[in-house]
Structure 1
Amino acid sequence: MLQRRWVTLFGLILLMAGSSQPGRSKDNLVTFTANHEKLGAVLRNIQEQGDVRLVYVNSIVDSFTVYRKFNDTPYEAVRKSLLGTPFDFVQQTPDLWVIVPRSQTQGLPATLTGRITDIYLQQPITGVNVYIDGSDLGTTTNRNGEFILSQIPPGKTTISVKRIGYHDLEFAVLLRGNRRKHVELALEPEPVFTQEVVIEEKILPKENSIILLEQKITKAQLQTPPLKNDGEVFELLHQQPGVSRRDLDDVYPHVEGGSATEVVIELDGMPIYVPTFGKNRRSVFASTIVESITLHRSGFGVEYGDAMSGVISIQTKDVKDVGFTTKGTASLTGLSVNFSKNTNKLGVSGVWRNGKFNNGLDYFGQWEGLDIFTKLEYRPAKNHTVTLLALISRGAFVQSNSLQTGELVSQNLGARYDFEPGKKTHVSAIVYQSSLDDEQSEVGFKLKARTNLTGMLSATAGIDFYNLDTHGTVALDSLDLYKVARNIDTSPGAGNFYLPIATDPADLFMQRASVLTPYLGVNLSHRLWRISVGARLPADVRLDGVYFEHRAKFVVMPTNFLNLSVSQGRYYQFTDRSYASEAKSGDNRGRGEFLVKVSNAEPSYADHFRLESGFHLTRSYRFSIAYFDKKYHFNDRAYLTRINSWFWTIPLQGGLSRGYEYWLGKTTGQLQGWISYTMNNQAYQTELGTYFKPYFNRDKILNISMAYFLNASLKLQGQYFRSSGYPERLWSPEHVTISRENTPEVFAEKFLTDPARLGATRQYALGLTWSFPGFSNENLLTFVASQTVQETGDGFDGGFEFWASISFAK
């Protein structure tokens, strides 16, 4: 019966097409809200406002209801009203559109529209050639920079864009049958040389040209490599140069040789306390909420502080989706549900994620993690936005041979206000509160203003404050695996402990600080160079003294494709927000190495120096090389070393970390990805001058991450990773003789300075992602398989993992 109705419908189309009359411009907007209205009523409303004629069968389309807000062109309004239904539409004439089954339009040609502008002047470019690579199908832009490229076969297509006086542009686009896609493109000018005339570029180059100093990882890059555990975002960080970890199942990032305790992690500007679950196997951030991640390495700017190694800034997606959207994912490790809803002034999005994971230690079995994120955005007036953030996580955050906590609940709550009083000024303020059950509590605020004073001069000023209190109730050796003394006596000859500094093991994780930091930065830009200088003045209001942090960066841009930069600064750190995250790293049966705080008297600091060169090889390829040098000055740090039930707390004076980073990336085309390589030398120095390599040292790190689009629906992903140069401590009885009478300095000289051998780890991963039709075009089926090989002096060890997930979106 349904087939007969469609046959009759197509007969009517042929009769009506001959008498159709052109209507008004189809640029007029269709504006209304459909609250569970029948599809037929929605289509009639679009006809009236858009002045188009829609042909359909009422009895069929009215079996579907629509809940959506419309403020679109007639074309977009019809397209959005049919989402989630088995229908599509065909434009017989500019005014006559026919609703047909979606299965009948999958093979129809697609259309690509767009607008091309000058990347610097923001003006439209006329006469640009736009064509499908390898075919005769093409067009040119009009005086408004607009183009229409029709009759494109559905699937993945490579588009070439060329015009004299501009760099060529090539990009890949995925087009569905009978669909129209719009793109906004910007071309970069290039000098044109002839025998008689030289046309030179006289405009400012791009600001954000240095790649690694403040590396921005986009949402598209999150989908490039094969990532397990529902797109683990920290896994992607470990595939970037200068980022390392102790084990492949440890996602907590170490930046350029620093420990995990020296990294600050922010979510939309809100500092996050305890960003990983038990044994650091998964972060609390779902990839579906992430818009981009910015990795600030050595030499980062004046806006960030209280971190000696680096800052990881996570930006969540803006709440801009029309109507109500949902996405559900089921995997071998758990479930997740995402949602978003937007109106004119109010938008909300969120995610619920639950998972169970093998701990990797037989006597732990599995652990479970739950995280819930919600973002509420209110826009009371133009240029005013109020955002409420909530990230709540539940799980066992620390589990290792030496340290363990029970199940805890982490809460991170924040309220942010953004205001733009003019086109050149932006003001933001955020207040936040975080807690970890009764173990930790932090409250704080951040106020920042940024303005362009002149065409070349801009300034950033702000003030940060936080009050943090960590009670430190983690108990050493709480698993009772190695003859733990019930009544702990910390004297050198008593029990099984030797803790020369801490009078109580809990003090190793106890922190109290109230830090107030005003800061000011100034930027001076020119066509060929840019200078940024600034200063921070942090002070713990509970203690005497104000500290001075200077920041400076100089960038030279002699050509459009070459950038050189040098940066230097001092970075103080008062607290550790990782809550014993180091407890897992370096830990094994009968031994372990941890970096800990032992007092709150003085903050530690690091001096950074960085050189970097960035090359824009082509539109698709970019290359960067960097040298970094960090010198640590420790005032409250100690190296806690454990052999069976004996502990040595070794006071640290300082340390160093220096090395080179290389990065080559391809961002467009059928094959995308990057290759990164890091060479690093890292060492700690005890109070008496003994140097040794910490457990998380990695001399060399190589990573290759690629994605290859087999067709419009299938994507093949691959990754190769190898890290080497970490010390293997030979602490078994046949290699060492342990005496509780050894002082910490003697212990460091005897067992830490000269590692008997160095280990290496490599991993191969392969993934396949299939985008299949359903309620929308975002349904995904993902498979990931990985093989890990660990090279030690005793031979090879490793394991195989398989992960799969399926996602449905509506």
Structure 2
Amino acid sequence: MFPHLRPALMAGACCGLLAAAPAQAQQAATGRVTFSGYVRDASTGENLIGVAVVHPASGQGTATNTYGFYSLTLPAGADTTRLLTSYLGYQRQVLRVRLDKSQTLNVRLQPATSELQSVEIVGTRQEKLAETTRMGTINVPLTQLKAVPALFGERDVLKVLQLLPGVQAGGEGQSGLYVRGGSPDQNLILLDGTPVYNASHLFGFFSVFNADALNNVELIKGGFPARYGGRLSSVLDISMKEGNMEKFHGEGGIGLIASRLTLEGPIKKDTASFIVSARRTYIDLLARPLIMAATDGATVGYFFHDLNAKVNWKLNQRNRLYLSAYTGRDKFYARTKDEGERGEYNEVDSGLGWGNLTAAARWNHIVNDQLFANTHLTFSRYQFDVGVEDESRRRDSQTDELRTDKFALKYLSNIRDLSLKTDFDYVPLPDHYIRFGGQYVLHHFRPGAMQVKSSDPDANLDQFNKSTRTLGHEIGLYAEDDYKVTERLKVNAGLRLNGFATGNKFFPSVEPRLAARYLLTEDWALKASYARTTQFIHLLTNSGIGLPTDLWVPATAKIKPQKAQQVSLGAARNVRFRDEDYELSLETYYKPMDRLIEYREGANFLGTTDNNWEDKVTSGKGWAYGAEVFLQKKSGRTTGWIGYTLSWSKRKFEELNQGRIFPYKYDRRHDAKLVVIHQLKDNLRLSGTWVYGTGNAVTLSRGRYLLGSYTEYQDYGPRNSYRMRAYHRLDLDLSHTKKKKWGEVVNSVSLYNAYSRANPYYLYFSQGFEDGQGNVREKPGYRQISLFPIIPSFSKSFRF
């Protein structure tokens, strides 16, 4: 079908053949033994990610991968030696082993007895910050995510990530991520390895991720490993829990606007488990009586819901199968009915809905004690639709007979993916950690389709039944090696080969990746990284707040793939001060971007179809550069972090702003974050966050003129040349934990915007007004709209 894909597909098939090579190499090797297995939570059976497995006598070590698997190869001998396993929040475990033969060692770690032992804010798994090669990578422990103050009591993964340097929100309360000068569509968001295209609820104020169902959250801002591809700015890799294999367990919460419940337990103990998690908001139910009273009987509402489910089945010691799914949807609706005389009426029913559906089947297979394989089949769909139905009954002016007229319009847009991916982790020696694999993705794009039904047959239109979809074929092959060259120098070198085919057009891409660290001392390290990335899909958006009117479209012969490069330099230090550990990092980055797209002046999504969207957009370039400082304290009664970012983000489009360079809408010169979590007592916790940011850039008219009698002309200045006021906000949270016979209850009281700062949300022009004597009471000018004053909230969560 696509001859130009054959070489790449053949290369992908070779990845499977390579799986046999390491086994042969190991058999040929002499004088070495390998210890391998899984590390799990002793109380739940959950796989633990990033557990350090170390041989103290030689200093050699490794860490468990995303599925809890480790492999450590050591020189053979007749002696008995020790292996040490350690993971923050768990008791260390010492294993005594003999070095005379390879063996499988599955480890179960006991949770720490003290809550304070498990405190960790943000860190790079178990490897010290100064030792790891990777840059711009941050792990967010779920225990701390729930300690940060939250809007309306809803704990949110994306809101916590916004508190990190180099990451910012689009605006007040929003959950979108703008990473190092990029836009939200440039973030690869993975839920159990499946892409999520719209991660927002409530028009961007909450994310789709229920924290109770998650096991691990990792954000990569730069120095991307070769195993990730398809986006320019970041990778957010989120893993769901696998389900408690030991006993039935549940947790949930009740907040002001939503409630949630998670249930998990064994299907067959130590063999199979399940987890189901659900969340729904009840804003529409609470507000419906007030809305109906205020609108004289109209029904207006909004709600969202999420449902996560997963089954984990251990087939045998070497094979494990996972099935997981997620569905979530937002729905806004309005219904009105105006009754007239003598049977006349007019009834209007309108709505806007959007949501995600994902499903995944994953097979983990231990090929041998040094080679681990994961095969992943996934499906993902994002769709939004808007519709209106209008039915009216009127009496004919001549015959006085009742006549019914009907009109219905529906517009929808969606993107669907079907993907097959295989990844291999190969650890021949402690100084080498090799990953390689391949992926194929079949994209179905439907940028827009419209259906019109009317009592007037000439007005009918039905694009749904036509072939309005565009297919895209994306392939990727990669290999990378995390290699310890010397005791001081360690590198992660990789190469990714990508290709995208649509119609008769094929876009190849070669993406080298390199990261390195050099130890100046045991605690000081210099770091550098380089990554080239390509994005084959585009997002058409009229605003940056993640509205569901965003349309996903493919690269074409006319609108080519986006490309970017990122160079990062930095330093890291592990600090011990007064018997407490701190981590300090400094990173600078430069990221040029090409073939970015924007709507042309005056264009928008309305009426966009797969046949005409290319005529509504224009391509251009972008640049982002800056520096980030991050200081964190990870243990003790008081924990937290300080982050500061100095950055620039610019754009240049020949058909916008007269071809001149202009600031990106979310260009933010200064961005500072402070997070403090203090354990007042064992059962009482106080936490607070403070954020500050330079105001967003906006475009305002510098003059207004009246042409003729009624036509107003606005003379706009340069694009994004005006800055709104600076943004700053303080949030507080006080949580009390009460132990029960059946579990525990946590009551939390939060204050959002504690000193009620009137932060700008948007600006509008006011004509001003005069009194009856011609005196000016308010001058014409722009006025600021602020969204949230101080907002107190209460939430209750529980575990059993």
Deviation at 1:545, TM superposition (A): 3.9
Aligned partners of 1:224 and 1:673 also within 8 Å? no
Equivalent residue runs for 1:711-726 within 5 Å: 711-726=681-696
Distance 1:583 1:707 in 2: 38
Distance 1:721 1:732 in 2: 31
The question of 1:663 aligning with 2:597 is answered: no
The question of 1:448 aligning with 2:448 is answered: no
The question of 1:373 aligning with 2:308 is answered: yes
**2:759 equivalent in structure 1:** 790
- 1:644–1:751 distance in 2 versus 1, CA, 3 Å: farther
The question of 1:527 aligning with 2:487 is answered: yes
- 1:596–1:668 distance in 2 versus 1, CA, 3 Å: same
- 1:637–1:449 distance in 2 versus 1, CA, 3 Å: farther
**2:276 equivalent in structure 1:** 350
Distance 2:147 2:118 in 1: 21
The question of 1:757 aligning with 2:723 is answered: yes
Normalising by structure 1, what TM-score?
0.65
3-state DSSP of counterpart to 2:694: strand
**1:677 equivalent in structure 2:** 644
3-state DSSP of counterpart to 1:234: helix
Aligned partners of 1:598 and 1:638 also within 8 Å? no
Question: Residue type of the partner of 2:642?
Answer: I
Deviation at 1:145, TM superposition (A): 12
Deviation at 1:555, TM superposition (A): 1.3
**2:235 equivalent in structure 1:** 311
Range moving further from structure 2, 776-785 or 386-395: 776-785
Equivalent residue runs for 1:229-240 within 5 Å: 229-240=153-164
Distance 2:205 2:730 in 1: 18
Indicate the structure whose relative CO is greater, using CA pairs within 8 Å and at least 6 residues apart: 2
Unaligned runs of 5+ in 2: 1-39, 45-50, 60-80, 92-110, 121-126, 335-349, 384-411, 453-457, 609-614, 764-781
Equivalent residue runs for 1:204-219 within 5 Å: 209=132, 213-219=136-142
**2:189 equivalent in structure 1:** 265
- 1:551–1:398 distance in 2 versus 1, CA, 3 Å: farther
Aligned partners of 1:593 and 1:695 also within 8 Å? no
Alignment match of 2:593 (pick from 625, 632, 635): 632
Alignment match of 2:568 (pick from 585, 610, 618): 610
**2:556 equivalent in structure 1:** 600
Distance 1:531 1:666 in 2: 27
Distance 1:719 1:352 in 2: 28
**1:695 equivalent in structure 2:** 665
The question of 1:463 aligning with 2:438 is answered: yes
3-state DSSP of counterpart to 1:261: helix
User: Could you list the per-position Cα deviations for residues 305-344 of structure 1 after superposition, in whole angstroms to 9, with x for gaps in the alignment?
Assistant: 0001111011222434521011231111121111111222
Aligned partners of 2:621 and 2:651 also within 8 Å? yes
- 1:397–1:250 distance in 2 versus 1, CA, 3 Å: farther
The question of 1:566 aligning with 2:536 is answered: no
Deviation at 1:278, TM superposition (A): 3.9
**1:243 equivalent in structure 2:** 167
- 1:424–1:122 distance in 2 versus 1, CA, 3 Å: farther
User: Could you list the per-position Cα deviations for residues 406-425 of structure 1 after superposition, in whole angstroms to 9, with x for gaps in the alignment?
Assistant: 22442100011112223322
3-state DSSP of counterpart to 1:790: coil
**1:516 equivalent in structure 2:** 475
Aligned partners of 2:672 and 2:692 also within 8 Å? yes
The question of 1:731 aligning with 2:701 is answered: yes
Range moving further from structure 2, 510-519 or 357-366: 357-366
Deviation at 1:367, TM superposition (A): 2.3
- 1:759–1:297 distance in 2 versus 1, CA, 3 Å: same
- 1:123–1:532 distance in 2 versus 1, CA, 3 Å: closer
Range moving further from structure 2, 725-734 or 759-768: 725-734
- 1:428–1:474 distance in 2 versus 1, CA, 3 Å: same
Distance 1:692 1:236 in 2: 30
Deviation at 1:384, TM superposition (A): 1.8
Deviation at 1:283, TM superposition (A): 1.3
3-state DSSP of counterpart to 2:758: strand
- 1:639–1:374 distance in 2 versus 1, CA, 3 Å: farther
Aligned-residue CA RMSD in angstroms? 4.6
Distance 1:623 1:733 in 2: 49
Aligned partners of 1:385 and 1:418 also within 8 Å? yes
Q: How many residues align?
A: 595
**1:434 equivalent in structure 2:** 380
Question: Residue type of the partner of 1:351?
Answer: S
User: Could you list the per-position Cα deviations for residues 215-244 of structure 1 after superposition, in whole angstroms to 9, with x for gaps in the alignment?
Assistant: 111123313321235311111110111111
3-state DSSP of counterpart to 2:200: coil
User: Could you list the per-position Cα deviations for residues 502-535 of structure 1 after superposition, in whole angstroms to 9, with x for gaps in the alignment?
Assistant: xx9xxxx986421011111223213211122221
3-state DSSP of counterpart to 2:163: coil
Normalising by structure 2, what TM-score?
0.66
Aligned partners of 1:528 and 1:558 also within 8 Å? yes
Deviation at 1:637, TM superposition (A): 5.1
3-state DSSP of counterpart to 1:295: strand
Distance 2:333 2:119 in 1: 47
Aligned partners of 2:354 and 2:382 also within 8 Å? yes
Distance 1:704 1:800 in 2: 19
**2:358 equivalent in structure 1:** 412
**2:108 equivalent in structure 1:** none
- 1:553–1:210 distance in 2 versus 1, CA, 3 Å: closer
Distance 2:566 2:376 in 1: 28
Aligned partners of 2:478 and 2:494 also within 8 Å? yes
Equivalent residue runs for 1:58-97 within 5 Å: none
Equivalent residue runs for 1:17-32 within 5 Å: none
Question: Residue type of the partner of 2:758?
Answer: V
Unaligned runs of 5+ in 1: 1-70, 81-116, 126-142, 147-156, 160-171, 186-203, 479-485, 488-503, 742-746
Aligned partners of 1:516 and 1:538 also within 8 Å? yes
- 1:705–1:412 distance in 2 versus 1, CA, 3 Å: same
- 1:612–1:405 distance in 2 versus 1, CA, 3 Å: farther
Distance 2:326 2:730 in 1: 33
Distance 2:707 2:56 in 1: 72
- 1:173–1:427 distance in 2 versus 1, CA, 3 Å: closer
Alignment match of 1:227 (pick from 150, 169, 187): 150
Question: Residue type of the partner of 1:515?
Answer: E
Aligned partners of 2:203 and 2:545 also within 8 Å? no
- 1:373–1:733 distance in 2 versus 1, CA, 3 Å: farther
Equivalent residue runs for 1:391-406 within 5 Å: 391-396=326-331, 406=352
3-state DSSP of counterpart to 1:669: coil
Distance 1:292 1:183 in 2: 15
Alignment match of 2:789 (pick from 779, 796, 799): 799
Same amino acid, percent of matched pairs: 16
The question of 1:327 aligning with 2:294 is answered: no
Aligned partners of 1:279 and 1:584 also within 8 Å? no
Deviation at 1:598, TM superposition (A): 8.2
Deviation at 1:654, TM superposition (A): 0.8
